[in-house]
Amino acid sequence: LAGTRIICDRKFLLECKNSPAARTPPCCLPQTPGVTSLAQSSLVKLEELKERNESEEAVPGEQPRAAAP
């Protein structure tokens, strides 16, 4: 079996990374939580971590607790 090999140089690939087409998602891309967008539970966890970090920064003399697994 023979296949087709596509060869691109480094400069071309780096230019593609910065193109406007590479920066916008396709218009027909479905919203799948955890795949194409953050999962709802991930958003809640991010908010909890943010609040915990802000509360730890508010009390400078207290030692930070180890994170539970």
Distances (CA, A) of 32 to 8, 21, 25, 29: 31, 21, 13, 9
CA pseudo-torsion sign 22, 24, 29, 34: positive
Which pLDDT value is given to residue 52? 85
Q: What are the residue boundaries of the structural domains of the chain, listed by start?
A: 26-53
Entry pTM = 0.31
More confident residue, 4 or 69: 4
Q: Is the pLDDT of residue 40 over 70?
A: no
Q: Is the pLDDT of residue 63 over 70?
A: no
Q: What is the pLDDT of residues 1-25, one digit of tens each?
A: 678 888 889 999 898 888 888 877 7
Q: Is the pLDDT of residue 69 over 60?
A: no
